[in-house]
């Protein structure tokens, strides 16, 4: 079950919201936990037992770790917990990749039965790690109530597509969120959910069809025009898909009284790749910074070590997205531009006009998404070459008016907040208040977006969930 499915929107969500608000406060977490288990079990009933088992083990190990007086013993429990979580992630997500490449490199013939990947395994593994490490660091004490820990891990709005939430960011909200039970908070959540739903169902799905049409062509049919069309279509698809799911998750969180962290902040208005990564998938970036980059030494090291740290972080960031070489290359690609920013590029872009810096950054990002989208490296490299070859094959690929309209619409929404004034206008949509004269028009517009999105789901018959590999 996914947020953009008819089953979720028509049946699951209204029932859960109604039930949640009818039961007494002491039962609300129980309702969230049970419905989260049901939500996850809908598409993969076997894997819910994997999550439940890991939550039990993690809870007990972290509790035991906290009770240790000697740092060496604490570290021992930390290592055991990390090995269990990362071991499961490796087994399900990466084992086949390494065996396949080992066979290719050595000529061996190790057999490996393909394993179905538990949905969202990277998200809940990373959240488990934040809890484990933060207790070890003394940032917060371990939870005494096991059911509260399960609610944190399994809370369905963020379970399968993020944002990645550190425990201490919502620790108080798990047990005490009555202050968030306000009309303003819940209405803003509803509006934000509908905005995210529209991003996914209207923009991302329509543009995704065009991206698929390009990248499913025979490699010899992809000329300069087709490569750019496919690259731009996918660039907007993944942004509106991912940010749409994040908006829906944050909106649902508000409806249930949780204030989840921001995950996207108009990334395509960035004037450098460094700025892009401050705005794109913010919670993943924060996770990589706190649990990988800083432990490696961060920027408090020599330049050579700094570049090494950036390279490690972005190779692993790419690998986090999927067990395939194209994801690794995408990470290397972005890591290289971050190093170039440190060397000279950022200074150069800052001295130039935004009219130059923003389009340049956007083109770099588009090229990166071409790598990200194509698991066939030959196709990816061919597309990148064609993008700058000015090679046009008449009649091989034709545009349609629907696509042109959606690209224009996607461009408007992607670059709307490019100034402080337009950013403030955008904030009205994301933070609805009854003290605001625009409240009821926004609520009515949100309801309209909800039903328009439903019509797109029914009409298009194209509603991919691109986070199965995550």
Rounded Cα distance between 195 and 92, Å, is 33
Q: How many CB atoms lie within 10 A of CB 389?
A: 12
* Three-state SS at 282: helix
In whole angstroms, how far apart are CA 409 and each of 120, 219, 220? 30, 29, 30
Q: How many CB atoms lie within 10 A of CB 51?
A: 25
CA geometry: angle at 77 spanning 71 and 80, to 5°? 140
Annotated catalytic residue, options 281, 321, 334, 382: 321
Q: What contacts 295, CB < 8 A, 6 or more positions away?
A: none
The radius of gyration computed from the CA coordinates of the chain, to the nearest angstrom, equals 23
Could you tell me the maximum CA-CA distance found in the chain, to the nearest angstrom? Answer: 73
DSSP assignment of 192-258 = HHHHHHHIIIIIIHHHHHHHHHHHTS-GGG--HHHHHHHHHHHHHHHHHHHHHHHHHHHHHHHHTT-
In whole angstroms, how far apart are CA 292 and each of 85, 206, 284, 287, 295? 16, 37, 11, 8, 5
Rounded Cα distance between 132 and 125, Å, is 11
Spatial CA neighbour of 256 closest among 1, 10, 17, 15: 17
Q: How many CB atoms lie within 10 A of CB 291?
A: 15
Continuous H helices in 289-353: 303-321, 325-340, 346-351
Cis bond before residue 110 (omega within 30° of 0): no
Continuous H helices in 341-376: 346-351, 354-373
Mark whether 334 is an active-site residue.
no
Rounded Cα distance between 85 and 58, Å, is 8
Q: What contacts 196, CB < 8 A, 6 or more positions away?
A: 3, 243, 244, 245, 246, 247, 248, 249, 250, 251
> Which two three-digit tokens encode residue 206?
């329509």
**What angle, 0 to 180 degrees and rounded to 10, lies between the N-to-C axes of helices 303-321 and 325-340?**
150
**Which sequence positions are flagged as catalytic?**
321
């Amino acid at each position: 079950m996914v947020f953009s499915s008819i089953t979720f929107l028509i049946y699951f969500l209204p029932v859960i919201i109604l039930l949640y608000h009818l039961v007494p406060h002491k039962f609300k977490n129980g309702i969230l936990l049970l419905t989260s288990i049901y939500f996850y079990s809908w598409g993969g009933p076997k894997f819910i037992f994997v999550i439940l088992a890991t939550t039990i083990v993690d809870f007990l190990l972290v509790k035991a770790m906290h009770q240790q007086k000697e740092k060496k013993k604490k570290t021992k429990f930390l290592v055991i917990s990390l090995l269990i979580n990362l071991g499961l992630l490796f087994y399900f997500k990466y084992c086949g990749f390494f065996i396949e490449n080992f066979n290719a490199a050595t000529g061996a013939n190790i057999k490996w039965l393909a394993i179905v990947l538990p949905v969202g395994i990277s998200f809940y593994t990373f959240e488990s790690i934040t809890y484990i490490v933060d207790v070890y660091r003394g940032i917060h004490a371990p939870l005494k109530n096991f059911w509260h820990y399960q609610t944190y891990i399994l809370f369905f709005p963020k379970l399968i597509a993020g944002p990645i939430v550190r425990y201490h960011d919502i620790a108080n909200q798990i047990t005490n969120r009555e202050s968030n039970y306000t009309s303003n908070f819940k209405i803003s959540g509803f509006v934000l959910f509908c905005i995210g739903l529209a991003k996914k169902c209207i923009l991302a799905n329509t543009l995704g069809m065009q991206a698929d049409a390009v990248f499913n062509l025979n490699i010899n049919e992809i000329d300069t025009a087709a490569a750019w069309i496919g690259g731009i279509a996918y660039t907007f698809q993944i942004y509106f898909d991912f940010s749409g799911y994040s908006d829906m998750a944050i909106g649902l969180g508000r409806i249930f009284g949780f204030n989840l962290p921001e995950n996207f902040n108009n990334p395509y208005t960035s004037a450098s790749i460094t700025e892009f990564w401050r705005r794109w998938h913010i919670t993943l970036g924060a996770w990589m910074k706190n649990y990988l980059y800083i432990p490696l030494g961060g920027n408090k090291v020599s330049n050579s070590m700094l570049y090494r740290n950036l390279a490690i972080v972005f190779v692993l960031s790419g690998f986090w997205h999927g067990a395939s070489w194209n994801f690794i290359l995408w990470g290397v690609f972005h890591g290289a531009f971050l190093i170039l920013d440190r060397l000279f590029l950022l200074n150069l872009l800052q001295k130039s006009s935004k009219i130059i810096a923003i389009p340049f950054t956007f083109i770099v990002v588009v090229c990166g998404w071409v790598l990200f989208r194509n698991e066939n490296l030959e196709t990816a490299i061919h597309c990148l070459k064609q993008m700058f070859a000015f090679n046009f094959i008449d009649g091989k690929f034709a545009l349609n008016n629907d696509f042109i309209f959606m690209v224009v619409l996607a461009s408007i929404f992607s670059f709307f907040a490019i100034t402080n004034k337009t950013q403030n206008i955008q904030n009205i949509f994301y933070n609805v208040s009854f003290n605001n004269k625009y409240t009821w028009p926004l609520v009515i517009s949100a309801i309209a977006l909800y039903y328009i999105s439903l019509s797109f789901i029914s009409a298009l018959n194209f509603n991919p969930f691109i986070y199965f590999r995550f």
